[in-house]
Structure 1
Amino acid sequence: MKRIVIFASGSGSNAENLIKYFKTKTNASVTLVLTNNPHAKVLDRCKNLKVSALSFNKVAFTETEDVLNLLKSAKPDLIILAGFLWKFPESILNKYPNMVINVHPALLPKFGGKGMYGMRVHEAIVANKEPETGITIHYVNENYDEGATIFQATCPVLSTDTADDVAAKIHELEMEHFPVIVEKVLNQKEA
């Protein structure tokens, strides 16, 4: 059975969606969720779904090998960033090359980079009068939102759309596509 570890920073709706999706599968499961926010709602979601979840601080993530050692113990086949806001350290990326993927709420390379996450992205899309937006599922490298693209899905942005409207559309795309693409990536790793 393939093992998935998720990193999340906030409410954890994508993490919950992934956990529920893989509970119905026989080839993979989410075995651990890690968060940099000890008050993140994702911890409650994991408790309710009976999935191990732990929080960590910046020192454990970037200055020591504490988080890396947690990952070594978890033996992940794939690491998923689902609303995780910190830059991933090269020490972890080097240990798990092409094994860390992220979902970004825009069509990269547009609206990516440091500080471009969540509502900031949706507000920028509306302000720039973009005709469409979408999600990008991509590999994570040492630079924000610059890893190789795995998949993109688009949706229209209407002239009447607010940032909240765009956020709702993006959420739907994430719920529909993220688990399916994660499963495809896992299956490719078997081949």
Structure 2
Amino acid sequence: MVRNAERRRQLLDAAVEVIAGQGSRGLTFGAVDRAAGAPTGTGSNYFASRDQLVDELAAHVFERLTPDPVEVAKRMSPAHTRETERDLMLWLVERAMADRAAHLALFELRLEATRNPRLAPAVTRHFAGNLAIATTDHVDGGFPGDRTTALVLYLAMSGLLLEHLTMPGLLGEDAVKRVVDQVVAAVVPAE
């Protein structure tokens, strides 16, 4: 396989745009090549199969959505209270809106995993890793609540992001902020 890391990243970024815009069925090597502005056949030179592309795409999306560590440190510097948790959840919504395609790709990857049993373990592994990090950050970070609090918050925010990113006009920006306030107040115990 070809080893040009920058080209591989460009192809994976193009795959994010393809799957977000066309869905899982539109994710073909030809579509990725076109979206990347690469010659026909480039994608198949980098990925041995579509399954490998999807597996690497899942890892790439989570990497792409990982926030800047300096910004994370800044936002984690206040006391770890319910209010800090609320601010972090609002930041999550902001970041989701800033890279809507990557979050839509995550939704499509979930659906792809339900339809393709060969891919389900790999895609599930990426999501499980993300959930484990979120849980550890919550519990070890000293936020109010326990592992169950972290899980319920994760699930509630995942559902809110699904609604807001796939149907932005359904709730509207102000309502989303109010829902975040209500979710955090309902799920995260008072200090």
Alignment TM class, shorter chain as reference: under 0.3
Higher helix share: 2
Q: Work out which of the two has the higher radius of gyration on C-alpha atoms and give 1 or 2.
A: 2
Higher strand share: 1
